[in-house]
Structure 1
Amino acid sequence: MLALNADISFAQALDAPKAPATEVKLDTVTVQRGELQQTVDAVGKLQFHRFADVNVQVAGQIKNVLFAIGDTVQEGKLVMEISPAIRANQLETNRAQMARLRAELADQQAQTDYAESQFKRQTLLKAQNATREDAFESSRMGASTARARIDAINAQIQQLEVTLKSDEESSHNTQLVAPLSGTVVALNARAGQTVSVGQAGQPLMRIADLSQMTVQARVAEVDVTRLRRGMTANFQTPGYPGRTWSGKLRQVLLVPAEGSGEQGKPTFYNVLFEVDNPEQELMSGMTTQVQFIVAQAKDALLLPANLLGQRDAAGMYQVQVVNPERRIVARKVKIGLRNAQQVQVLSGLEAGEQVLVGPVPAPALVLQSKPTAPVGKP
């Protein structure tokens, strides 16, 4: 904080010592030490850092929903039961059909073995001119037909195996469990509701870990290049006036934020960082006012930024100092970090000195002075 002093008087016109002194009231600021931060400001939103959705893996009807919004669940805990569309009798029918096909395959294999043996016999007899041509052709055709029947039965078996595997998986996936430990934050399921795999719309249940939240801040293009991973980010939210939360910058997304940078609009980038939320006070969707700390100086000499005059060719600024003799002295100062309210004084002033606020009064005597010894960076 900078102390504001008033009613400082000084002698007027040294060249007229016998004239009565004139009291001039002055407003001053005392140079004090403190902390100065240079920040990039942005507006953001809170969102879940870790969450997972619960959806069905089989078509069917919701039998039971075991948790409501706001309930806490543990990973692996049963949260919902489904009655699959595949009924038990349909599964048993397919299994019976599989058994029939396998029996048919065994019978056809025996017939094929016999047909092939007959064909081999007829082949030998034909080589000895001991059989008729029609008998040979008949045996050849019989063996070929028998092998084709085996191929057809095997194809039916393979197709039915796929159906059986899907039916069995459907009968097993009737219990939905929590994919992570957290709080139920969304629920779009009710007992008796019919569901299907991959249906469009909101998830049946969303579970989020509320112990940590993510802030997504929109940073202007002109400022985003000043940000670095790991720098401190503070924010406030209207829901908790006067409170500040802190985190460390995790990521700057490399593509412009949605809806920015188009048709002459300013370009913004989304910047992400996490904040601990042990009491679960922060909620998804809350608005945040974010300050990314680009640089800071501790135990620095501080001066209001509006007291600086024009910058000269050497990079120095002029201020008006009221010395202990109540005279106004023009002083050159060197500035370090600055923000909209304050500047860090590197040289030209000492802690406790009084700097004039506003223009120099007409009756005052202004003395030119060399800068005092530089004050090192904190």
Structure 2
Amino acid sequence: MQHNKIFIIGLTTLVLFASCGDSKKEGNAAINDKKTQLEKLKSEKEKKDQEILKLQEELSKLDTSSANPAKIKLVAFAPIVMQNFDHYIELQGKIDAENSSYIAPRGMGGQVKQVLVKQGQIVRKGQLLLRLDNAIQNQQLQATKQQAQNIKTQLALAKSLAERQQNLWNNGIGTEVQLLTAKTNVTSLENQLGTIAEQVKLAQEQLNTANVYSDVNGVADVVNIRVGEIFQGATAAGPQIKIVNKSSLKVIGNIPENYLGTVSKGTPVVVIMPDINKTYNTTVSFIGAAIDPLSRGFNVEAKLPSDPALNPNQLALIKVRDYAATNTIAIPLKTLQNDEKGKYVMVASNEKGKLYARKRVVTVGLINGDVIEVKSGLKAGEQLIVEGYTGLYEGQQLKTSAQ
């Protein structure tokens, strides 16, 4: 009896699995049938749409008297002309001064005794800016000068003795050894005097390092030093004295590395300063030789004219030309439309004194602002519809505000 129950349960399970399998197959078949029907209907619709457009076009040509004024579309058009087209890379940059100088001591630096410049002051190249403590250098200089004076005194005495010894030798008095010794003393002291003279120059130069001068003409943009502080040129907070020369400015930007082959020295650049509402046309003057590992770009620089309105670290919009075409066709981007077959525009065709809309499938290139280059599909002289193009169909009759 127990065996009969197990057999019945197993048989029931098999029946259920078979039913599920059949249901799944039937469901897949139904989906495939629906897809096939959908594709067929789409194909028929596309064919019908083409037939309708063709009939509308033929009818508008053959039976112009039956044209419905309500279907005549008001448009505006402009002639297509050959022109030059440029494409620009847009990036953010900043203004920098080519001759900015971070003033540093010529020696080890030292304690400031006198500050001779104020922030914002115009300075000249070679102008004294700071005096540092020079007590030790001055002592060294005076000691060296004293040594030089002692050697000069000894040299004068040695020369006098050598002359006397020479006179005695000429008169047959004394020995040759005494004469040679006297001359050797003179030569030795002359050599010592030459050495000490160089030491005097070195001590004088070390003393001069206590004077800090500007190495460029410009404006003292940063003066962050006071009497009693230690001047060393720069600290963790930045430079202690910075001189900016605004007569030679440049703009700096960073271009993505994929544009490396399209930008070179001399490439046209447009610099836009939105804060002061000014634009400058210039060219690339420098291209970085290495790719920045963080930004994955390379630096470019372009020189700017001297302008009081420009200041270092001022933000700028940089447009670098990476593509240029001559005698090409460019149209307003807004006139470009899309359908299942691709991109197209509408043109106005004058046929037997009447205007009709004609579709032109186009191949496009790069975009520059609100203008796009057209590689193929249009010819110079055609009338591009620039207003009222939305909803136009092939062969639709047109009119303009002048009609």
TM-score by length of 1: 0.63
Query: Are positions 1:319 and 2:309 aligned together?
Result: no
Distance in 2 (CA, whole Å) between partners of 1:186 and 1:40 is 35
Structure 2 residues without counterparts, runs of 5 or longer: 1-52, 397-403
Distance in 1 (CA, whole Å) between partners of 2:111 and 2:346 is 81
Which amino acid is 2:379 matched to? S
Which amino acid is 2:271 matched to? F
User: Could you tell me whether the CA contact under 8 Å between 2:269 and 2:283 is conserved in 1?
Assistant: yes
**Secondary structure of the corresponding residue to residue 347 of structure 1:** coil
Q: Higher helix fraction: Structure 1 or Structure 2?
A: 2
Question: What's 1:51 paired with?
Answer: 100
Summarize the Cα distance change of 1:27–1:66 in structure 2 as closer, same or farther, 3 Å threshold: farther
Question: What's 1:245 paired with?
Answer: 279
Shift of 1:347: 1.3
User: Could you tell me whether the CA contact under 8 Å between 1:334 and 1:348 is conserved in 2?
Assistant: no
1:327-346 matched pairs, under 5 angstroms:
327-331=356-360, 338-339=367-368, 341-344=370-373
Summarize the Cα distance change of 1:152–1:204 in structure 2 as closer, same or farther, 3 Å threshold: farther
Distance in 2 (CA, whole Å) between partners of 1:46 and 1:347 is 44
Summarize the Cα distance change of 1:305–1:256 in structure 2 as closer, same or farther, 3 Å threshold: farther
Summarize the Cα distance change of 1:145–1:354 in structure 2 as closer, same or farther, 3 Å threshold: closer
Aligned pairs, how many? 328
Question: What's 1:302 paired with?
Answer: 331
Question: What's 1:219 paired with?
Answer: 255
User: Could you tell me whether the CA contact under 8 Å between 1:77 and 1:177 is conserved in 2?
Assistant: yes
Distance in 1 (CA, whole Å) between partners of 2:254 and 2:131 is 41
Question: What's 1:347 paired with?
Answer: 379
**Secondary structure of the corresponding residue to residue 117 of structure 2:** coil
- The answer to which of 13-22 and 168-177 deviates more is 13-22
- Larger Rg, first or second structure (1 or 2): 2
Question: What's 2:289 paired with?
Answer: 255
Distance in 2 (CA, whole Å) between partners of 1:195 and 1:89 is 21
User: 1:231-284 CA distances to partner (integer Å, 9 max, x unpaired)?
Assistant: 4312335x618x342132242325124335xxxx74x22211122352234332
Distance in 2 (CA, whole Å) between partners of 1:322 and 1:102 is 105
Question: What's 1:280 paired with?
Answer: 309
Summarize the Cα distance change of 1:356–1:323 in structure 2 as closer, same or farther, 3 Å threshold: farther
Distance in 2 (CA, whole Å) between partners of 1:200 and 1:105 is 50
Distance in 1 (CA, whole Å) between partners of 2:319 and 2:356 is 41
Which amino acid is 1:249 matched to? T
Query: Are positions 1:102 and 2:152 aligned together?
Result: yes
Summarize the Cα distance change of 1:179–1:357 in structure 2 as closer, same or farther, 3 Å threshold: same
Question: What's 1:187 paired with?
Answer: 223
TM-score by length of 2: 0.60
User: Could you tell me whether the CA contact under 8 Å between 2:166 and 2:179 is conserved in 1?
Assistant: yes
Of 189, 193, 198, the residue aligned with 1:162 is 198
Summarize the Cα distance change of 1:27–1:154 in structure 2 as closer, same or farther, 3 Å threshold: farther
Question: What's 1:7 paired with?
Answer: none
Distance in 1 (CA, whole Å) between partners of 2:79 and 2:344 is 18
Distance in 2 (CA, whole Å) between partners of 1:195 and 1:111 is 52
User: Could you tell me whether the CA contact under 8 Å between 1:319 and 1:330 is conserved in 2?
Assistant: yes
Distance in 1 (CA, whole Å) between partners of 2:395 and 2:196 is 104
Which amino acid is 2:275 matched to? Y
Summarize the Cα distance change of 1:307–1:185 in structure 2 as closer, same or farther, 3 Å threshold: same
Which amino acid is 1:40 matched to? I
Of 55, 65, 70, the residue aligned with 2:120 is 70
Shift of 1:291: 0.7
Distance in 2 (CA, whole Å) between partners of 1:215 and 1:259 is 21
Which amino acid is 2:345 matched to? V
User: Could you tell me whether the CA contact under 8 Å between 1:187 and 1:206 is conserved in 2?
Assistant: yes
User: 1:87-139 CA distances to partner (integer Å, 9 max, x unpaired)?
Assistant: 6555344323222222224445666788999999xxxxxxxxxxxxxxx9xx9
Summarize the Cα distance change of 1:212–1:146 in structure 2 as closer, same or farther, 3 Å threshold: closer
Summarize the Cα distance change of 1:91–1:24 in structure 2 as closer, same or farther, 3 Å threshold: same
Which amino acid is 1:295 matched to? A
Distance in 2 (CA, whole Å) between partners of 1:240 and 1:25 is 48
Question: What's 1:91 paired with?
Answer: 141
Summarize the Cα distance change of 1:170–1:211 in structure 2 as closer, same or farther, 3 Å threshold: same
User: 1:319-351 CA distances to partner (integer Å, 9 max, x unpaired)?
Assistant: 333557574322356878753642356616635
Distance in 1 (CA, whole Å) between partners of 2:137 and 2:252 is 47
User: Could you tell me whether the CA contact under 8 Å between 1:234 and 1:244 is conserved in 2?
Assistant: no
Structure 1 residues without counterparts, runs of 5 or longer: 1-9, 121-135, 369-378
User: 1:296-318 CA distances to partner (integer Å, 9 max, x unpaired)?
Assistant: 779976232771669x9xxx974
User: Could you tell me whether the CA contact under 8 Å between 1:319 and 1:355 is conserved in 2?
Assistant: no
Distance in 2 (CA, whole Å) between partners of 1:367 and 1:199 is 76
